[in-house]
Amino acid sequence: MERSEPTPVMKFTASEHIRIVSDNGAYVMIFEPGQTRRVVKPLWSAAVRAGLVPADPDVKTPELPPEPEKPRKVGEDEKKAKLIEAAKELIAKQLPEDFTVTGKLRTASVKKLVDFDFTARDVQDAYDEALHEVRSSGNDDSELVESRSLSTE
């Protein structure tokens, strides 16, 4: 049986009580103030982000990956208006992959069009309002969307 390479480790020291978690959630470590511990490579970026200091001053600190961009904050009125516009756009496109088999709008499809946080309930409310606006404007192609999504079952 072949031996696999050992996971690289680096010693880090904490100045305060710190808990670190790997990006994939597989590793967790807790540090007490002043404690130095060996940290496996999957935790290095989390250790640096948390403020842990490499114990060996000659060791170069690992490069951090860029922070993911956080969704911007929007007011409730702006959120509602933008979600309704996104829902109208998806209704107009009439792509079956944007709708569930029951005819509801997919949250993932809306997420591709807006850059802020929202709930599934926000999407459903926006979809209901957009569908109402589309139907009352006389441009009612929504039955086609619903029938297409139901036909993909």
Considering the chain, what is the average pLDDT of its residues? Answer: 82
In terms of domains, do 89 and 144 share one?
yes
Numbers of helices and strands, H then E, in the chain? 5, 5
Higher pLDDT, 138 or 87: 87
Task: Look at residue 145 and tell me whether its pLDDT is greater than 70.
Answer: no
Q: What is the pTM of this model?
A: 0.48
pLDDT of residue 86: 94
In terms of domains, do 131 and 100 share one?
yes
pLDDT of residue 81: 94
Domain containing 19 equals 9-54
Tally of domains in the chain: 2
pLDDT of residue 151: 45
Question: CA 152 to CA 113: how far, in whole Å?
Answer: 23
Question: Is 68 among the domain residues?
Answer: no
In terms of domains, do 92 and 147 share one?
yes
In terms of domains, do 30 and 80 share one?
no
In terms of domains, do 94 and 130 share one?
yes
Task: Look at residue 53 and tell me whether its pLDDT is greater than 80.
Answer: yes
Question: Is 36 among the domain residues?
Answer: yes
Question: Is 142 among the domain residues?
Answer: yes
In terms of domains, do 84 and 47 share one?
no
Contact 72, 42 (CB under 8 A): no
Reported confidence tier of residue 19, pLDDT bands at 50, 70, 90: very high
Q: What are the phi and psi torsion angles at 126 (to 5°)?
A: -65, -40
Mean pLDDT (whole number) for 106-119: 90
pLDDT of residue 62: 62
Reported confidence tier of residue 35, pLDDT bands at 50, 70, 90: very high
Task: Look at residue 148 and tell me whether its pLDDT is greater than 60.
Answer: no
Task: Look at residue 60 and tell me whether its pLDDT is greater than 70.
Answer: no
In terms of domains, do 115 and 84 share one?
yes
CA 3 to chain CA centroid, nearest Å? 37
Contacts of the segment 70-75: beta carbons below 8 A, 24+ positions apart: 71/115, 71/116, 71/117, 72/115, 72/116, 73/116, 74/116
Mean pLDDT (whole number) for 72-87: 90
Question: CA 28 to CA 117: how far, in whole Å?
Answer: 27
Question: Is 26 among the domain residues?
Answer: yes
Mean pLDDT (whole number) for 59-64: 64
